[in-house]
Amino acid sequence: MMTEISRKRKVTNAVMLSLTGVCTVLVIGVLFFILGYLLWHGGRSLNWDFFTKLPKPSGESGGGMANAIVGSGKVLLVATLIGVPLGFMAGVYLAEYSGKTFAFTLRYTVDLLNGVPSIVIGIVAYALVVHPMHTFSALAGGVALGIMMVPIAVRTTEEFLRAVPNSLREGAMALGATKAKTIFTVVVPAAISGLASGMMLNLARVAGETAPLLFTALGNTFWSHGWLHPIATLPVMIYNYALAPEEDLHQQAWAAGFVLLALVLVINITARMIIARGAASSRR
Amino acid sequence: MLSESTVGTPQTLADTPKAAATVCKLNSKNLNFFYGSFQALHNISIEVASNKVTAFIGPSGCGKSTFLRTMNRMNEALRNTRVDGDLLLDGENLFSMDVTDVRRRVGMVFQRSNPFPKTIFDNIAYGLRVNGIHKKRVLEEAVERSLQRAALWTEVKDKLQKPASALSGGQQQRLCIARALAVEPEVLLLDEPCSALDPIATLKIEELLFQLKSVTTIVIVTHNMQQAARVADYTGFFLLGRLIEFGDTKKIFQNPGVKETEDYVTGRFG
């Protein structure tokens, strides 16, 4: 009787282990499949020209996406400068100062903002920045992406600050530090690895957003100087090239897709490493 | 049998030494403390003598830690609490002073050591920097002096730039003591500082307290009666939020005036 039951258990165990194992492989496989597919189709275009040259006019082959790579960098920089400080300070308020009801309301509002479709945020940025300035710009694109960064910045900051043990706050206050000094000289430094990696993941998520850039940054086949002119970005270039008739441009779109994905992966992996190192040092 | 009429009456307070030799550093008058609607402290009136070690003993939940935390107004950081009564430092009303000033003058060391995730040097210098002292030479001298006073200097003088988390439990607690001493507090409150330490580390800290008397006034809360008997000049016995008896340590342990005190120190309950 017992051997019958234990055999059934062993079989169930083996089946579930295999099933979960297969699913895991499938999930990881999807990522590698995408990477491989992009590389297969766009690999030919991943050359030195791609990273250094401007797009060639319609009909001519060759050229690159140097302006889009730099453009993405510029727009993301503006987004970080807008989204991170706003989100961070709101997160500090939520974690350290607010009362229960206001905290609940603020968190709910932030979650709602997170759910707003990215194209709607693009329209808002158009109305706020592009229309009054009468120009598409890196600034407008940065504003749109910055707004998208705020909700995650707020929640990440709040979470990591709350994770700092209260004993550290008490220790600082017992030495005569005010609440603000305690927060910025003890609590935030204690949470810094989590905060930094959280912001990086936030950036990685926003790096691939295309819809809001369509009517804020617009696009540019040349270099965009300064911050107040239309600017090329990787996601929008992929969009434009994918719809173009030339095969050469299709391949460049694949290559751009690969570069974008690689960028996001690198940011993600770096962020995870920072968290891991932070966790290891605090466990000592 | 303990009754409301015998608690806090002159009968027990008569034991409070008021001899000319001892100066009162910090005292409370009819201090009451509430967590919401629960009264945690009832009419605590006590005088802490200057440059002496005063110990608070009593079973769990008797209010000794609550009273300690009221003495440097740490309880104000908690929500929904209320204090009633007087607390005086050198005759000055503690509640009307600036709270950060109070906490600099009345320092605290906690039950579990809580070094900041910074270097050893930055931990000790933190209190000084927060109080506006930034000159490198001044900080270095103060850090050395504090570590000497905490009997930790020889062990860490070559690794001041290493993280404080690398120290052992006992060393970390001495670091926290040094950190508290760096701002030169007039009173040092210690909340069961040795409860998480092994006997050797405990002994080191007890020896330390004996030496620190000369630079500051010490108030220690301890669960360990033998520790109170070893280190304290004066001892106060707390029970259910009331100060049952206070006086010379020898008297409290050898010849207590109140039955509850006698029952506690002889181990009949606790």
Residue among B101, B103, B115 whose CB faces A174 most closely: B103
Interface confidence (ipTM) of the complex: 0.85
Q: Which residues of B touch A173 (CB under 8 A)?
A: 74, 77, 103
| Residue of B103, B106, B119, B129 for testing the chain A interface, max A β-carbons within 10 Å | B103
pLDDT in the model for residue B8: 34
On whether the CB atoms of residues B59 and B2 are closer than 8 A, the answer is no
Q: Which residues of A touch B131 (CB under 8 A)?
A: 176
The reply to whether residue A190 touches residue B163, judged by beta carbons under 8 angstroms, is: no
Residue of B nearest to A182 (CA): B130
Q: Count CB atoms within 10 A of the CB of residue A149.
A: 23
| Architecture, CATH, for domain B10-114+187-265 | 3-Layer(aba) Sandwich (3.40)
A59, amino acid identity: G
On whether the CB atoms of residues B244 and B7 are closer than 8 A, the answer is yes
pLDDT tens digits for range A231-283: 999 999 999 988 888 888 888 889 899 889 888 888 888 888 888 887 666 55
Q: Dig out the tokens for A27 from the structure.
A: 């999930």
Q: How far is the C-alpha of B143 from the C-alpha of B160, rounded, in Å?
A: 10
Residue of B nearest to A186 (CA): B116
The reply to whether residue A173 touches residue B103, judged by beta carbons under 8 angstroms, is: yes
Closest CA to A154 of A88, A233, A247, A215: A88
| Residue of B71, B72, B80, B114 for testing the chain A interface, max A β-carbons within 10 Å | B114
Q: How far is the C-alpha of B173 from the C-alpha of B164, rounded, in Å?
A: 11
Give the A-side interface with B, CB within 8 Å: 165, 167-178, 181, 185-186, 189-190, 281-282, 284
Is B259 touching A (CB cutoff 8 A)?
A: no
The reply to whether residue A175 touches residue B103, judged by beta carbons under 8 angstroms, is: yes
pLDDT tens digits for range A182-226: 999 999 999 998 999 899 999 999 998 999 999 899 888 888 889
φ, ψ of residue B156 to 5 degrees: the values are -120, 0
On whether the CB atoms of residues A135 and A230 are closer than 8 A, the answer is yes
Is B77 touching A (CB cutoff 8 A)?
A: yes
pLDDT in the model for residue B10: 39
Q: How far is the C-alpha of B239 from the C-alpha of B254, rounded, in Å?
A: 19
pTM of the shown model: 0.82
Task: Flag whether pLDDT at B2 surpasses 60.
Answer: no
Entry field: residues in chain A: 284
Q: Kindly state the average pLDDT of the residues B204-227.
A: 91
